[in-house]
Structure 1
């Protein structure tokens, strides 16, 4: 008698990093940029024009990093987890769900304050043995959903873990 059940929540789940993750990652650079713009805006300050020019360059770099963060997509399907990132040159990574062997959740102090987390997936995939899903909302229980799909795919493919204790 076959007691396998279909995958719960059969639809694809699409996740994107929260915009707050950008502030967490780039807060020091944002502060330097703001200070440089303020300093450069004060008249008769030594090297004020240079500080403003450097700050404008940093502002462009921050805009690029923000755009890159917003273009990241994680798609959890029935059999694969697809990670897409990049702005001008897109990279797509496919991870078979049955290869995932462990999960970790991490929250820095700033992520705790913003209600975000990073979920790390450890796998036997040679091209990406670790995949970090950054900027995921803390209340999003994505680990249990992925775990159910991983277990389903392992049963479907007849993959069993042998431990030696």
Structure 2
């Protein structure tokens, strides 16, 4: 993708542009600020707002057939949970927990969340349990999705714990 020093001490602002197939969604750390499709082209060019200075390991890009649920924090931060369309019905617990966590951290620490959005993405095949990419946290599906008709109370607690942990990194 880009040449860089993969050293947390070195920080940079990132302006991301992703060229992806029509019919897919592109995600990154910043809020999408533009989407252009050339006439008769099967490709879309999505651009994202510049990030604050951050370590290179926090950069994230994702492209896929994703759908989302959305809410807002008390501080008006747009909060979305992204997943495969078939898993969208299992995202409400993560959305409610995530919004409550950002509101709590804002109030408890007195530090406003610095980004205009927070996305969390459930991935079916993700080796790590989760990764705290700034503005686009990625999760293994089992760490973000919950359905009371399928999963135990312990699974609900595990989702809450993982979401609160990853948001604490933000």
Please report the TM-score for the alignment, with normalisation by the length of structure 1: 0.25
Q: Which has the larger radius of gyration?
A: 1
Higher helix share: 1
Higher strand share: 2
Q: Which has the higher contact order (CA 8 A, sep 6+)?
A: 1
